[in-house]
């Protein structure tokens, strides 16, 4: 399909089609414009956010990050007070912190 043909379907000039194509390539196209182009091509625009990993993996990673930040902060304070903790059981403390202290709501707080 030529720019002139698409322009006719959209009800715009061929120069406008060229501008639309450039904005789409640059990632600056507006969704409304993209929707109109899709309709002119007898298509449906689908706009979606697709996770890079499973929800379970994401939740586990967030929980672990929060637990490690908190436990490292506490360990630092303890070392300053000459009450350092043994690093051998750090992983078990991380798991216990996740299990006993974190709620679903906590997962979305910034750390």
pLDDT at 84 over 60: no
Q: What is the pLDDT of residues 24-69, one digit of tens each?
A: 999 999 999 999 999 999 999 999 998 899 989 988 999 999 998 8
Say if residue 66 is exposed, middle or buried (CB neighbours under 10 Å; 0-12, 13-18, 19+): buried
Smallest CA-to-CA distance from 21 within 40, 32, 4, 34 is with 34
Q: What is the mean predicted confidence (pLDDT) over 81-87?
A: 61
Confidence of residue 78 (pLDDT cuts 50, 70, 90): low
Residue 2 neighbours by CB distance under 10 Å: 9
Q: Answer whether 0.85 is exceeded by the pTM.
A: no
Q: For 84-102, what is the mean pLDDT?
A: 81
Tokens matching residue 40:
């002119």
Q: Whole-number mean pLDDT of the chain?
A: 87
Cβ neighbour number for residue 17 with a 10 Å cutoff = 22
Q: Where are the domains of the chain?
A: 3-40, 55-108
């Amino acid at each position: 399909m030529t720019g002139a043909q698409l322009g006719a379907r959209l009800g715009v000039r061929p120069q406008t089609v060229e501008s639309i194509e450039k904005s789409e390539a640059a990632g600056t196209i507006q969704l409304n414009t993209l929707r109109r182009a899709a309709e002119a091509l007898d298509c449906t625009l689908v706009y979606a956010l697709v996770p890079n990993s499973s929800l379970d993996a994401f939740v586990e990673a967030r929980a672990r990050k929060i637990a490690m930040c908190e436990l490292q902060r506490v360990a630092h304070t303890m070392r300053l007070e000459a009450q350092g903790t043994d690093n051998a059981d750090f992983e078990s403390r991380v798991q216990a912190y996740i299990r006993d202290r974190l709620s679903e709501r906590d997962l979305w707080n910034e750390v």
